[in-house]
Every structure is written in C-alpha cells, then in structure tokens.
C-alpha cells in the first residue's frame, strides 16, 4: 500500500470557496464524513483530491486567482487539490438533473420522483469525461484512484477508453436499488457496464451489494464467486471485486467534543430553556427521502393516543436548508411547516410547545449539544445509504441515558440492531408506539443499550472503513488482507 499514492475523486473538493461583500474571495476547509475520513489519509501519505470547487465557471474568479485559492486550500488541507471546471449548464444537467432528478430518487426507491430527461444523460456523460480527463492529467498507473458516489459512475469507463490501467475503486454512498426498480432506468445497461469497469465496488450494506449482484445476474450474465465481505465478478479482461463497507464516523472526535466544557455549557442552556420534559431530536437535510412529514404525523399520533406524553415531551426538529431553488423542495418545506403549525395549534398549552422547529444549519457546538442533551433521537428516513446522524448521536451521548429510534430502511439499522428501536417510517402508529416505548424505558435499560451502541460504533469507526476498503482495493489476493499496512491516524 505504501507504494501507491491515493487519489480521491468526488463531485466536490474538500474546500469551500466563498465570496465576500467587497468582491474578494476566501477558501475554507469543508466538512462532512468524507472529508473527515479521507483528509488524514491523504495528509499522512501525500495524496491528491480531484473535484469541482462548487462554483460555476461563469462565476469563478479568474484562473490565476482560482489557482492561488486552491493552492491555499491545499496548504490548509495538507494534500494536493486539483479542480474541475463545470459551467452553469453542466451543473443544471449533470448535477441537478441526472444525478439528483434521476439517480438520487431512483436509488432511494422513489422512482415516481424521477425526471428521465434524455438531455441529462448527454451532459452527465460529458461531465464524467471532464473528471476522467483531470484524473488522466494528474495521475499515473501507479496511483490508486478512489472515486466516490453516484455523480461519477462513468469515470472508470472513460479512463479505460483512454487506455489508463491504474487500479480504480468506487464507493456508493447512497443505497443501490433492487432489480425491479433499477430496470426502470432507461440507461440501465450503460450504468451497469460502467460500474463493472471498476476494480473494486464498495456498497454501504450487504443488502445494497445483493441488489447490485442481482442486477448483474439478470442483465450481464457474469460469473460471480466468493463469499463473505468481498465477492468477485469475472469480466472478459479483468476481475471486479464487490464488497460491503459500512461507512462510519470519527467516534473519538465526537465523544471528546461532547465532553468539552463548551458543549456542556450549551447543553445546560438547552435543558434550562426546556425543563422537566424529555426531548426528542430529529436532524435532517431538507429532502424527501428523510421522512420528515411522516415523522411529524407519527409524533402527532403519539400525542393523541398517549395523552400522558403531553407536557412531558417535546420534539426538536432541525431541518438544514437544501436546494431551495428546486420547487419540489420548497413544497416539502411548506408541508413540514404546515404540520408543525397544526400540531402546535392542537396541543400547545401555557408553558409547553410540543414541536420546536429549527430551519437553519447548526454550528458544530450546537449540534453536538443537542445530541448530548436530547434523551431520544427519532431518525426515520424512508431510505438512507447509512445515516451518520444516528452514529453521531450515539457517540455524543456520553451520559448514555438515552434511546435511538431508527428507521429499518437506514443502512445503519443492520449494524445498530437490536440496541436501537427499529421502526417502519411508513407505519405512523408503529413509530408513535416506539416514541412511547422510548419515553417509558427504564434508565438501566437505556444505559445498557446505549453503551452497546457506542461500543459498536467505537470499534467500527471511520478509520476502520478506510482501512477495509483500501485493503480490499490494493491487496492482490483476498488472503493478503491481514498483511496490508493499515492507516493509523497521528495523535
């Protein structure tokens, strides 16, 4: 592994460009699970990250200024950065179009939300060609290329067309749909063939891997062998490894920060403002896959059927703004606000408001304080690749007197069962019953279950995810895995 330089390719760079009021520009480090996971690996091993800087070509600073900003970002990150230009049409058609109006809903089993506009496919191919050209320009055959997520499925296909034979891995952060849903994609053969150009395909769960292999069996008739975490698909000119690698979080960072004085002070303020009641927390990006309206309806049902909850419980629902210029997302926001208003109008009493609705991004300190303070987490997406909020909540729950209610359709459910209460987010009464079960659960049982959850996440943290994927990607034989050099973060 030490002989290979690691090159990460994702839609976005791990830095954020921003424009100040005086028409100047600045650059800051980005956030999120992928940056947290890959940053230390690239920094310690001298790697490269290729991605889009997040601003349309027409709005970017001039090339010289942009180069200086990216170099500044690389200095902050500790590893090299190379950017890919995307113009406004490409952003509309490749990112908002094919990626988020076709692949996003389809891969989340919500195909009725898809807009199969053929113009999207043409631009999606051209955008992937741009990323591939950047890989070709800045790498060689000794590098290991790790491509991330549904935006860039075609990159390996474009590399092979250019006769670039470096090792290329791909990780899908979202779910992979079952065969009957995947078949609805007009470009199903092209997408499947493009995925089979990679040397290693990583999925979040064994269910996602099974769905993919079912599609391969039905549409490609390949020979599939192996068992356990990694299986093999025999192609005419190469072998594709296919594995389940559940992504995770930096457990230690969340646990340590939750114990800090600044988080403890913020947590005290939250409870002082909402005393003598158990707090239920929902944290989601504004998206129709997160099941926020269904969650609010279930909370409404819990208050209706369990009147003993009234005045003794409150839901804090945080919604992080996303894609505000998309009409469907604006309608979703309006639906959420209507439901919040109806619940509060129906049940509010002097000194008690059942739902506290926050529509903004939270600072890291605020977020972890809510994680630490709230006795119940209500995380009920309709479908989710993993859902790291569930893991962050557990890692931050240092007092352990709390309960995780989790959708059985989140990837994390396979890891966190049976210590989390699993629910079907479409079952309104079932979720309401789970809220009541969590509210009445004895402290001793809460602590035992949360202790088990935290132990599981601590053992299978983000470093474990990076190592397991890289071992599978770079080892020559599966028997080589135990002998691979592991990444150990610097203290």
| pLDDT one-digit tens code per residue, 334-349 | 999 999 999 999 999 9
- Domain of 243, in residue numbers: 6-247+463-476
What residues are labeled active site?
173, 384
351 found inside a domain: yes
How far is CA 233 from its chain centroid?
A: 27
Claim to verify: residue 243 and residue 257 sit in the same structural domain: no
491 found inside a domain: no
Higher pLDDT, 471 or 45: 471
Q: Please report which confidence band the pLDDT of residue 356 belongs to, taking 50, 70 and 90 as the band edges.
A: very high
Q: DSSP strand E in 260-312: where?
A: 278-285
Q: Please report which confidence band the pLDDT of residue 16 belongs to, taking 50, 70 and 90 as the band edges.
A: confident
Is the pLDDT assigned to residue 408 strictly greater than 80?
yes
Please list the residues that pair with 279 across neighbouring strands.
314
Mean pLDDT of 212-224: 93
Q: Please report which confidence band the pLDDT of residue 482 belongs to, taking 50, 70 and 90 as the band edges.
A: very low
Is the pLDDT assigned to residue 21 strictly greater than 80?
no
Q: Report the alpha-carbon distance of residue 412 to residue 417 in Å, rounded.
A: 8
482 found inside a domain: no
Q: What is the pLDDT of residue 483?
A: 34
Claim to verify: residue 388 and residue 322 sit in the same structural domain: yes
Are 175 and 108 within 8 A, CB to CB?
yes
Claim to verify: residue 235 and residue 379 sit in the same structural domain: no
Q: Which of 50-59, 303-312, 470-479 has the lowest mean pLDDT?
A: 470-479
Mean pLDDT of 405-411: 97
Q: What is the pLDDT of residue 18?
A: 81
Q: What is the pLDDT of residue 323?
A: 79
Tokens describing residue 388: 């790291």
Is the pLDDT assigned to residue 225 strictly greater than 50?
yes
Tokens describing residue 32: 């999120």
Q: Please report which confidence band the pLDDT of residue 4 belongs to, taking 50, 70 and 90 as the band edges.
A: low
In Å, the largest CA–CA distance within the chain is 71
Q: What is the pLDDT of residue 207?
A: 96
Domain of 212, CATH number, reads 3.40.50.2000
Q: Please report which confidence band the pLDDT of residue 479 belongs to, taking 50, 70 and 90 as the band edges.
A: very low
Are 424 and 414 within 8 A, CB to CB?
no
Contacts of 79 (CB under 8 A, 6+ apart): 39, 42, 43, 46, 47, 48, 49
Claim to verify: residue 450 and residue 301 sit in the same structural domain: yes
Mean pLDDT of 192-208: 97
Claim to verify: residue 168 and residue 89 sit in the same structural domain: yes
116 found inside a domain: yes
DSSP state of 412: T
Backbone angles phi, psi at 162, to 5 degrees: -90, 10
Q: Which of 32-46, 151-165, 227-241 has the lowest mean pLDDT?
A: 32-46
Tell me the three state secondary structure of residue 358: strand
Is the pLDDT assigned to residue 2 strictly greater than 60?
no
Claim to verify: residue 160 and residue 283 sit in the same structural domain: no
CA-closest candidate to residue 95, choices 11, 13, 29, 161: 11
Mean pLDDT (the chain, rounded): 91
DSSP 383-419: SBS--HHHHHHHHH-TT---EEEEETTBTTHHHHTTT
DSSP state of 385: S
Counting the structural domains of the chain, the total is 2
Mean pLDDT of 161-177: 91
Q: What is the pLDDT of residue 112?
A: 93
Please list the residues that pair with 51 across neighbouring strands.
83
pLDDT digits (tens, 9 = 90+) for 373-398: 999 999 999 999 999 999 999 999 99
Q: Report the alpha-carbon distance of residue 130 to residue 119 in Å, rounded.
A: 17
Claim to verify: residue 468 and residue 454 sit in the same structural domain: no
């Amino acid at each position: 592994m030490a002989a290979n330089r690691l090159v990460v390719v994702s839609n976005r760079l791990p830095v954020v460009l921003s424009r100040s009021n005086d028409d100047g520009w600045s650059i800051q480090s980005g956030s999120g699970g992928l940056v947290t996971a890959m940053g230390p690996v690239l920094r310690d091993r001298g790697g490269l990250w290729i991605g889009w800087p997040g601003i349309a070509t027409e709005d970017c600073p001039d090339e010289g200024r942009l180069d200086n900003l990216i170099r500044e970002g690389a200095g902050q990150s500790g590893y090299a950065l190379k950017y890919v230009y995307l113009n406004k049409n490409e952003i509309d058609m490749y990112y908002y179009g094919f990626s988020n109006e076709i692949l996003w809903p389809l891969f989340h089993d919500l195909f009725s939300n898809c807009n199969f506009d053929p113009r999207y496919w043409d631009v999606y191919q051209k955008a992937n060609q741009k990323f591939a050209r950047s890989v070709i320009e800045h790498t060689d055959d000794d590098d290991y290329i790790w491509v991330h997520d549904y935006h860039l499925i075609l990159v390996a296909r474009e590399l092979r067309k250019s006769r670039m034979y470096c090792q290329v891995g791909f990780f899908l952060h979202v779910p992979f749909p079952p065969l009957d849903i995947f078949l609805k994609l007009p470009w199903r053969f092209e997408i499947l063939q493009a995925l089979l150009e990679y040397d290693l395909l990583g999925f979040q769960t064994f269910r996602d891997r099974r769905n993919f292999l079912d599609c391969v069996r039905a549409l490609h008739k390949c020979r599939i062998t192996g068992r356990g975490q990694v299986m093999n698909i025999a192609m005419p000119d190469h072998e594709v490894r296919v594995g389940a690698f559940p992504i995770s979080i930096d457990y230690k960072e969340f646990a340590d920060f939750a114990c800090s004085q600044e988080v403890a002070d913020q947590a005290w303020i939250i409870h002082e403002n909402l005393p003598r009641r158990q707090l239920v927390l929902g944290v989601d990006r504004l998206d129709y896959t997160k099941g926020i309206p269904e969650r609010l309806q279930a909370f409404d049902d819990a208050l209706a059927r369990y009147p003993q909850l009234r005045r003794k419980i409150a839901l804090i629902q945080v919604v992080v703004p996303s894609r505000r210029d998309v009409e469907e997302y604006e309608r979703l926001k309006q639906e959420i606000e209507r439901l919040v208003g109806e619940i509060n109008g129906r049940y509010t009493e002097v000194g008690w408001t059942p739902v506290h609705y926050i529509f903004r991004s939270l600072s890291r300190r605020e977020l972890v304080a809510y994680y630490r303070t709230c006795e119940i987490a209500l995380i009920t997406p309709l479908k989710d690749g993993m859902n790291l909020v569930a893991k962050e909540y557990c890692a931050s729950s240092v007092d352990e007197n709390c309960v995780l209610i989790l959708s059985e359709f989140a990837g994390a459910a396979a890891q966190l069962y049976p210590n989390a209460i699993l629910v079907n987010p479409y079952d309104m009464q079932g979720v309401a019953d789970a809220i009541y079960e969590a509210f009445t659960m004895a402290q001793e049982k809460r602590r035992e279950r949360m202790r088990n959850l935290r132990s599981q996440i601590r053992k299978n943290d983000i470093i474990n995810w990076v190592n397991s994927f890289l071992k599978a990607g770079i080892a020559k034989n599966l028997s080589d895995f135990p002998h691979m050099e592991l990444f150990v973060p610097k203290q």
